[in-house]
Amino acid sequence: MKFIAPSSELLQHLLTVNGAIMSKPLIPILENFLFDIKGNQLTIFSTDLETSMTTTMSVESKDDMRVAVPSKMVIDILRSLPEQPVTFNVDAATHGIEVVNNNGRYKMAGQDGVDYPSLPEKSGDGSFTVPSNVLLRAISKTLFAAGSDELRLNLTGLFVEMQGTSVNFVATDANKLVRFTRNDLKPGVEHSFIIPKKPLNLLKTALPNDETPVIVDYNNTNVFFSFGDTQLICRLLDERYPEYGAVIPEQNPNVLTISRMDFLSSINRISIFASKTTHQVRLKITGSELTISAEDIEMANEAQEVVHCEYEGDDMEIGFNAKFLKEMLAALDSDSVQLKLSQPNRAGLILPTDNDSDENITMLIMPMMLNNY
Q: What distance, in Å, lies between the first and last C-alpha atoms of the chain? A: 76
| pLDDT band per the 50, 70, 90 thresholds, residue 372 | low
Check if the beta carbon of residue 54 is closer than 8 Å to that of residue 47: no
Could you tell me which of 129, 130, 134 has the C-alpha nearest to residue 209? 134
Q: How many CB atoms lie within 10 A of CB 345?
A: 12
Does residue 373 have a pLDDT over 50?
A: no
Instruction: Catalogue all structural domains in the chain, each as residue range(s) with its CATH number.
Output: 2-115 (3.10.150.10), 126-245 (3.10.150.10), 249-365 (3.10.150.10)
Mean pLDDT of all residues in 119-126: 82
Q: Return the minimum-mean-pLDDT range out of 119-128, 230-239, 273-282.
A: 119-128
Q: Are strands 2-6 and 85-90 parallel, antiparallel or unpaired?
A: antiparallel
Taking the CA atoms of residue 125, residue 128, residue 134 and residue 139 in that order, the dihedral angle to the nearest 10 degrees is: -10
Mean pLDDT of all residues in 259-288: 95
Check if the beta carbon of residue 77 is closer than 8 Å to that of residue 103: no
| pLDDT band per the 50, 70, 90 thresholds, residue 291 | very high
Mean pLDDT of all residues in 330-335: 95
Does residue 47 have a pLDDT over 90?
A: yes
Check if the beta carbon of residue 1 is closer than 8 Å to that of residue 63: yes
Beta bridge partners of residue 304, listed in sequence order: 293
Mean pLDDT computed over every residue of the chain: 94
Check if the beta carbon of residue 133 is closer than 8 Å to that of residue 89: no
Q: Residues with Cβ < 8 Å from 116, sequence gap 6 or more?
A: 29, 32, 34, 45, 66, 68
The model carries a pTM of: 0.92
Could you tell me which of 321, 170, 312 has the C-alpha nearest to residue 255? 312
Mean pLDDT of all residues in 62-67: 93
Mean pLDDT of all residues in 178-207: 95
